[in-house]
Amino acid sequence: MLKAAWKRPQFRIGLIIIVSLLVLAIILPLISSTSATTLSIRERFAPPIFMDGGNLKHLFGTDQLGRDLLLRSLIGLQNAVFIGLVSVIGMFFLGAIIGMYAGYKGGWIDTILMRITDAQMSIPVIILAITILGVSRPTAFSVIVVLILAGWPTYARVIRSVTLTESKKEFVRAAKIIGASDQRIILSHIAPNILPPVAFIAVLDVARMMIFEAIFGFIGIGIQPPIPTFGNILADGTKYLINAWWITVIPGLFLFTALISLNLIGSTLESARNEALEGREQ
């Protein structure tokens, strides 16, 4: 699947963009003389480089407190990718445990677990987020917990159906006959098969979770300022939209670039997998 995807230019373009953005996001804040939270009132509202009055020191311009928007966007990207990755990994593991257990055991355990999954799926993410995050002081950890709670049911469902088909296969029966324990069968025979069908969902979900992180930050229930996140950068900028539009527009464009590269990777993986499946059927 990876090989097939690698052959497509979209996959490589997406990968190159996201990797270079990430490298930039990690290295530039380390070698830069200022930080993303350094205030510099004299330099506030500096426009980006391509406008009159822009200068090389602040490529993306500065915000209402004179903080460098490039550095803020880069740190914002670090936070967004961190939260996106960790939450997707978390929901994958939670979904995998529940899905494999339900699919392998079957019977009433399966019914109960799947009903819980249904119930969880009918709570809108945003309701869950504002009830949990809105009433406590949100941190990166609690944002991740909320995203995992909201996201695991999709994984549980897909993984359960994979487990159902896998556990009926010959090699699982063979393993049972020679006395392998349930745990051993699940871990060493079924687990390796669950990754391919959820891999592309996971990549697309990292991008989705990054958007959620931005939304939470925007309505004030994400990671709290002064730590820069795309949500609070955009929220700050809306107050100065008429005079300093770049505070919202440019970091947003930066986030959009990162998201579209992730979505390119994810959807190329998806179509590569679909083609592989069709090829197998013929």
Partner 1 sequence: MTFVLSFLLRRLSQGLVIVLLVGFVIFSLLRIVPGDPVRIIVGPMATEKQVEEIANELGLNDPLPIQFGRYLSEITEGDFGNSFIKAKGGNAASGGKENAGVERAAVLDLIKNAIPLSAILAGLGTAFALMFSIPLGIAAGLRPNGLISKLTFALSSIFVSLPNIWLAILLILIVSTQLGWLPAIGYKGLSYAILPAIVLAVELSAVIVRALASSVTTTMQENFVQAGVVRGLTLQHMISRHVIRNASIPILNLFGAQLGGLLLGSLFIVEYIFNYPGLGLLTVNAVFQRDFPVIQGVAILTTAALVIINIMVDLISAGIDRRLQY
Angle 91-85-6 from CA coordinates, rounded to 5°: 110
Nearer to partner 1, 126 or 276 (CB): 126
Stretch 239-278: interaction string toward partner 1, x if CB under 8 A:
--xx--x--xx--x--xx--xx-xxx--x-----------
Nearest distance from C-beta of residue 14 to partner 1, angstroms: 10
| Displacement of CA 181 from its chain's centroid (Å) | 35
CA 81, CA 133: separation in Å to the nearest integer? Answer: 20
Stretch 191-230: interaction string toward partner 1, x if CB under 8 A:
-------------x--x---x--xx--xxxx--------x
CB within 8 Å of 122: residues ≥ 6 apart: none
**Residue 62 φ/ψ, nearest 5 degrees:** -130, 165
Which of positions 87-126 make contact with partner 1 (CB under 8 A)? Answer: 115, 118-119, 121-126
Q: 62 pairs with which residues across the strands?
A: 68
132 in contact with partner 1 (CB under 8 A): yes
Q: Which of 5, 69, 162, 234 binds partner 1 (CB under 8 A)?
A: 234
Residue type, 53: G
Contact 187, 166 (CB under 8 A): no
User: 16 is written with which tokens?
Assistant: 């190159």
> What are the residues binding partner 1 (CB under 8 A)?
115, 118-119, 121-127, 130-132, 134-136, 204, 207, 211, 214-215, 218-221, 230-231, 234, 237-238, 241-242, 245, 248-249, 252, 255-256, 259-260, 262-264, 267
